[in-house]
Amino acid sequence: MSQPIILIDEGKSPYSIITPVDAIPSERYAAEELQRYLERISGVKLPIATDDQTVSKYEILLGNNMHLKILGLQVDLAKLGPEGFLIKTFALKYDCCG
């Protein structure tokens, strides 16, 4: 069984939301919505950064992100379809594509 990922604890989080540097509008919107809802439920506003930044141990990856490639992971977005998505956790990272 995998370990739980704690995004926010006692009003603090080491996590950032990472989007592709060339994110399409829906990816930017998804990052902003995730940031907004996490802040609403926890009081913590996670920073949004792009995948041209150094890879960190604590990331929520959105879209077809370069950090996925650096980690050796591939997501076939075509298989997901226009309304599809994939949620996957690995190590302490959280990935949402689609």
**Beta bridge mates, 17:** 48, 60
Query: What residues does 84 pair with on adjacent strands?
Result: none
> What are the structure tokens assigned to 65, written together?
């992100």
- pTM, two decimals, is 0.84
Residue 35 confidence (pLDDT): 98
Delineate the domains of the chain, giving CATH numbers in brackets.
Answer: 16-97 (3.30.379.10)
Mean pLDDT of the chain: 86
> Is residue 14 within 8 Å of residue 46, measured between CB atoms?
no
**Residue range 76-96, pLDDT digits in tens:** 878 888 888 877 777 655 545
For residue 65, pLDDT over 60 is answered with yes
Confidence of residue 33 (pLDDT cuts 50, 70, 90): very high
Task: Provide the 10 A C-beta neighbour count for residue 72.
Answer: 6
Which secondary structure element, helix H or strand E, spans residue 33, and what is its range? helix 25-42
Confidence of residue 30 (pLDDT cuts 50, 70, 90): very high
